[in-house]
Structure 1
Amino acid sequence: MKCNIILYVGDQERSTLFYKKLLAVEPILNVPGMTEFELSEQCVLGLMPEKGIKRLLGATIPDPETTNGASRAEIYFKVADPEVFLKRANEIGSKTLSPLSPRDWGDEAGYVMDPDGHVIAFARKLV
C-alpha cells in the first residue's frame, strides 16, 4: 500500500517553497492545483490549494479557508537527525511549538508549524 498525505494550503507556491527547503527535496509533481513530494517509496506528501478541494468536494465538507492558520493536521517524521530538520525549519521562519525533548512514548521529538498552521514533528526513537 502506498500512502498519499494531502495537506490543504492557502498558497500552493509558498507551501511548495517551504516544504522544498524544509525537506531538502524537489517535488516530483508541481502543477497548478497539486504539488507532490516523494518521501519514500511508500509515502507521498501532496499540497493542494484550499480552493481546489473546495471545487472538488464542494459543500460536502466545511470550507477549509475558514480554518486557515488553525492546526488541522500533524505530520510526524521519524528521521535519523531531527536537529537538522528543526534547525532548517527555524532558518526558513517556521514557528517552533516545542523544542526537541524526550517524550512519554519513547521518542525524542520537536514540533514546528508550517505557514498554514499544520503541525510538523521531527523525531527519533530514544535509545
Structure 2
Amino acid sequence: MSQSSEIVRGFALHLVVEDVDKSVSWYQAALGATVTRVLRMPGGAVATAELDVHGLAVALAAPVPGTKLATPSATGTSVAAYRLVVADADAAMRQAVAAGSTVSAEVHDAFWGVRTGEILDPSGHRWAFDQQLREVSVEEIEKRLAELVAGS
C-alpha cells in the first residue's frame, strides 16, 4: 500500500441525531459515555459532540440542511445495529431503559452464544448489548440459520 492510502487502525461512528445536547445526556446515562470534545458553531450551538463509549469513538451531530444526512427516526428506518460487548446484558438493558430508551428486542439467549437485547436511542439508532455465554461452532450456527430460513 502506498503511504497516502495506508489504513489507520481504529474505528469511529458519526451519528446524526435530532438534538445533540439531549443525545449527549442519553449516551452518558444509557451507555456510560464520556464527552471527549465539543465543537461549537459561531453562534454557540453544538456542531459536533465527540464521545468515548467504552473505547469506541462516537461523534454526534445534528442534521445539516442541504445534505442527505438524516436520523433513523426521520427516515423511518435504520440501516445498522451497533453492538456493544458487555459483562451483563440484562444490567446494560436496565440502565439504557432507565435513561429513556425504547426497547427494540428484549434480552434473550441467542443461538450464536450470546445473551443479547436491543434498544433505540432518542434518534432511532439501534444499540445492542451482547454478553458472551458460550462458544458456538460455525457449523452449529449455520444449522440453526438453515432451520430458521426453512421455517419462514
Normalization by structure 2: what TM-score? 0.69
Q: 1:3 is matched with which residue?
A: 11
> Residue 112 of structure 2 aligns with which residue?
105
Is 1:46 the counterpart of 2:47 in the alignment? no
The runs of at least 4 consecutive aligned structure 1 residues that moved more than 4 Å come to none
RMSD: 2.1
Q: How does 1:1-127 map to 2 (within 5 A)?
A: 1-31=9-39, 32-41=46-55, 43-51=56-64, 54=65, 58=67, 62-64=68-70, 68=74, 70-72=76-78, 73-127=80-134
Identity %: 21
Tell me how far apart the structure 1 counterparts of residues 27 and 112 of structure 2 sit (CA, whole Å). 27
User: Unmatched 5+ residue regions in structure 1?
Assistant: none
Shift of 1:12: 0.6
SS in 2 for 1:68: helix
Higher strand share: 1
**Aligned residue identity for 2:23:** S
For 1:94 and 1:116, how far apart are their aligned partners in 2? 10
Scaled by the length of structure 1, what TM-score is found?
0.81
* 68-77 or 97-106: bigger deviation: 68-77
Which residue type is aligned with residue 132 of structure 2? K
State the distance in 1 between where 2:72 and 2:107 align. 31
Equivalent residue number for residue 140 of structure 2: none
- 3-state SS of 2:28 partner: helix
Cα 1:40/1:23, change in 2 over 3 Å? closer
Give the residue type in structure 1 aligned to 2:115: E
When Rg is computed on C-alpha atoms for both structures, the one with the higher figure is: 2
Amino acid at match of 1:22: A
Contact kept in structure 2, 1:111 and 1:121, CA below 8 Å: yes
Q: What is the number of residues matched between the two proteins?
A: 119
Q: What letter is aligned with 1:75?
A: Y
Give SS of 2:35's match.
coil
Local SS of the residue matching 1:13: helix
